[in-house]
């Protein structure tokens, strides 16, 4: 169901974001969402972030006024971070905040909630994706996530298609609020070429992709698509797939045209988006629920090539309008789509213009922030109301949220 009307603002509340990794260690996906929420709601909420981190950097840092506590992780066991002190840090943090915002899936936090953590605090679950772990762990993780969703006062999804494609979400549809992600298009301002300036529109043969280097992103398919073609591919991001991708690039003989650029600061990423001729999101599975990177490329006025997934991906950038959509995992069709756009600068310009228009009119960062604030305040009010009802019963004692912050 859609978010309800804005509730009247009250005192500045404190929200704790709970996730398994975060900026500045990673960019894109959930880390970018958390960053944007904290920035967009800074006048309404005091935000803190508790994450696991493989980084050897400082344990507690402040980024743009947001305190981020990074609990040391020694790797992953299945889909669970090996962060033995995370449960203790989470237990200590919960009492200091008015609202818990869990970015799911994160089974370590689900386990703590199942043990009773935070039952007296409003809980909002940002449902980023279904559990993508292998089947051997789903039997353990899915019941924990179901229990978390049952405890949640509200669930936020980025697109209504998730409600229909996820059987787990369907069980809790009455709690779900659709809040589409937003993008600040002003950071991707691009000069529109004059109608008769074809040379300006045809800058080169540069294909850009970005995201965490993990299997479901399909970057190996993009590497294979470059074989036998003359276009360049730049992939921005870091992750566990980097070594395998490097070996593949060299073994396929495309090292002169395919580059892994590593992580890039936000400003650099925006610049690269505006430089590229085509942006590719070659994701393979429904673990890619939205494709924030393609939304950023749309804000930069880039034509998109994405994949047919049962998620919001082909609905954000639509086939034949802002995108060419191809079957996931098919490097031949992907290469054909890339060549189609690179050979037709006029079509690239038309699709890029449509993409920019859709990003600015349908995916406003202000609308995203207002939608999140609505759900957060609704969750706090709902929890307070339930406590008042409980406290009014004979023999019960009500306990409200404490006004303590980071």
Place of tokens 């959930």: 30
Kindly tell me the sign of the dihedral angle through the C-alpha atoms of 31, 37, 40, 41: negative
Query: DSSP E strands: which ranges in 54-92?
Result: 60-63, 66-72, 76-77, 80-81
Q: Is residue 287 part of a domain?
A: yes
Q: Is residue 5 part of a domain?
A: no
Q: Is residue 88 part of a domain?
A: yes
Share of the chain above pLDDT 70, in %: 83
What local confidence, expressed as pLDDT, does residue 108 receive? Answer: 85
Final residue belonging to a domain, choices 362, 378, 401: 362
Q: Which residue has the higher pLDDT, 10 or 378?
A: 378
pLDDT digits (tens, 9 = 90+) for 233-251: 999 998 889 999 999 999 9
Confidence of residue 11 (pLDDT cuts 50, 70, 90): low
Place of tokens 């929200």: 15
What local confidence, expressed as pLDDT, does residue 325 receive? Answer: 98
pLDDT digits (tens, 9 = 90+) for 72-99: 877 666 666 777 888 888 999 998 999 9
Angle at 369 between CA 366 and CA 374, to 5 degrees: 125
Confidence of residue 370 (pLDDT cuts 50, 70, 90): very high
Distances (CA, A) of 6 to 10, 15, 262, 379, 381: 12, 18, 40, 12, 12
Among 265, 278, 201, 203, smallest CA distance to 234 is for 278
Average pLDDT value for residue range 183-190: 85
What local confidence, expressed as pLDDT, does residue 183 receive? Answer: 93
What local confidence, expressed as pLDDT, does residue 324 receive? Answer: 98
Average pLDDT value for the chain:
85
Cβ atoms 338, 305 nearer than 8 A: yes
Residue 90 sits at φ, ψ, to 5 deg, of: -65, -45
Q: Which residue has the higher pLDDT, 2 or 277?
A: 277
What local confidence, expressed as pLDDT, does residue 136 receive? Answer: 55
Q: Is residue 196 part of a domain?
A: yes
Confidence of residue 65 (pLDDT cuts 50, 70, 90): confident
Q: Which residues contact 199 (CB under 8 A, 6 or more apart)?
A: none
The SS3 assignment for 76 reads: strand
Q: Which residue has the higher pLDDT, 267 or 81?
A: 267
What local confidence, expressed as pLDDT, does residue 26 receive? Answer: 58
Evaluate if residue 395 carries a pLDDT over 70: no
Count of domains forming the chain: 2
Angle at 378 between CA 374 and CA 380, to 5 degrees: 125
Confidence of residue 378 (pLDDT cuts 50, 70, 90): very high
Pair (273, 346) in one structural domain: yes
Pair (153, 202) in one structural domain: no
Evaluate if residue 333 carries a pLDDT over 60: yes
Distance between CA atoms of 314 and 311, rounded to whole angstroms? 7
Kindly tell me the sign of the dihedral angle through the C-alpha atoms of 324, 330, 334, 335: negative
Q: Is residue 7 part of a domain?
A: no
Distances (CA, A) of 376 to 73, 136, 250: 29, 35, 49
What local confidence, expressed as pLDDT, does residue 191 receive? Answer: 55
Pair (203, 293) in one structural domain: yes
Angle at 85 between CA 403 and CA 14, to 5 degrees: 20
Pair (146, 220) in one structural domain: no
Pair (329, 254) in one structural domain: yes
Q: Which residue has the higher pLDDT, 101 or 189?
A: 101
Evaluate if residue 406 carries a pLDDT over 80: no
Q: Is residue 294 part of a domain?
A: yes
Confidence of residue 10 (pLDDT cuts 50, 70, 90): low
Pair (213, 160) in one structural domain: no
What local confidence, expressed as pLDDT, does residue 360 receive? Answer: 94
What local confidence, expressed as pLDDT, does residue 84 receive? Answer: 81
Q: Side-chain half-sphere of 123: how many Cα atoms within 13 Å?
A: 24
Place of tokens 């980071």: 406
Cβ atoms 162, 105 nearer than 8 A: no
Evaluate if residue 403 carries a pLDDT over 60: no
Pair (70, 140) in one structural domain: yes
Pair (229, 247) in one structural domain: yes
What local confidence, expressed as pLDDT, does residue 387 receive? Answer: 66
Contacts 24+ apart (CB under 8 A), 72-79: 78/133, 78/134, 78/136, 78/137, 79/105, 79/107, 79/131, 79/132, 79/133, 79/137, 79/141
- Give the DSSP H or E segment for 176: strand 176-178
What local confidence, expressed as pLDDT, does residue 137 receive? Answer: 63
pLDDT digits (tens, 9 = 90+) for 200-209: 344 579 999 9
Pair (17, 147) in one structural domain: yes
3-state DSSP of 193-214: CCCCCHHHHCCCCEEEEECCCC
Pull the structure tokens for residue 193. Answer: 């070429």
Pair (67, 108) in one structural domain: yes
Pair (133, 245) in one structural domain: no
Q: Is residue 8 part of a domain?
A: no
Pair (33, 170) in one structural domain: yes
Across 111-125, 189-203, 212-226, least confident range = 189-203
- CATH number of the domain that 373 lies in? 3.40.50.2000
Q: Is residue 378 part of a domain?
A: yes
Domain hosting residue 66, numbered range = 13-182+364-391
| Full DSSP string of 337-368 | HHHHHHT-HHHHHHHHHHHHHHHHHHSBHHHH
What local confidence, expressed as pLDDT, does residue 398 receive? Answer: 35
């Amino acid at each position: 169901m859609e978010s309800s009307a804005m509730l009247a603002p009250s005192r500045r509340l404190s929200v704790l974001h709970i996730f398994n990794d975060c900026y500045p260690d990673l960019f894109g996906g959930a880390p970018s969402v958390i960053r944007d929420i904290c920035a967009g709601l800074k006048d309404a909420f005091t935000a803190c972030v508790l994450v696991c981190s493989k980084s050897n950097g400082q344990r507690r840092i402040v980024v743009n006024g947001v305190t981020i506590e990074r609990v040391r992780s020694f790797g992953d066991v299945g889909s669970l971070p090996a962060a033995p002190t995370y449960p203790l840090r989470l237990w200590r943090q919960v009492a200091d905040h008015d609202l818990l915002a869990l970015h799911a899936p994160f089974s370590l936090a689900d386990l703590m909630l199942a043990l009773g953590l935070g039952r007296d605090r409003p809980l909002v679950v940002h449902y980023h994706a279904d559990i993508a772990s292998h089947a051997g762990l789903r039997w353990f993780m899915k019941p924990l996530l179901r229990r978390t969703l049952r405890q949640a006062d509200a669930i936020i999804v980025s697109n209504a298609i998730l409600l229909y494609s996820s059987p787990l979400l369907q069980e809790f549809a009455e709690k779900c609020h659709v809040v589409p992600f937003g993008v600040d298009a002003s950071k991707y301002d691009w000069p529109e070429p004059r109608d008769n300036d074809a040379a300006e529109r045809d800058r080169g043969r540069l294909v850009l992709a970005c995201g965490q280097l993990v299997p479901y992103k399909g970057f190996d398919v993009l590497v294979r698509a470059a074989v036998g073609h003359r276009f360049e591919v730049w992939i921005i991001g870091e992750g566990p797939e980097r070594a395998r991708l490097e070996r593949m690039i060299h073994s396929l003989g495309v090292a002169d045209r395919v580059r892994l650029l590593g992580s890039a600061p936000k400003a650099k990423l925006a610049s690269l988006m505006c430089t590229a001729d085509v942006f590719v999101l070659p994701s393979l599975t429904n673990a890619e629920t939205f494709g924030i990177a393609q939304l950023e490329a749309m804000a930069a006025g880039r034509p998109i090539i994405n994949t047919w997934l049962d998620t919001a991906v082909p609905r954000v950038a639509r086939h034949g309008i802002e995108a060419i959509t191809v079957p996931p995992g098919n490097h031949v069709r992907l290469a054909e789509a890339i060549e189609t756009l690179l050979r037709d600068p006029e079509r690239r310009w038309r699709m890029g213009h449509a993409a920019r228009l859709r990003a600015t009119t349908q995916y406003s960062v202000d609308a995203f922030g207002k939608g999140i604030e609505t759900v957060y305040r609704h969750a706090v009010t709902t929890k307070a109301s339930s406590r008042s009802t409980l406290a009014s019963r004979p023999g019960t004692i009500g306990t409200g949220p404490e006004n303590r912050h980071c």
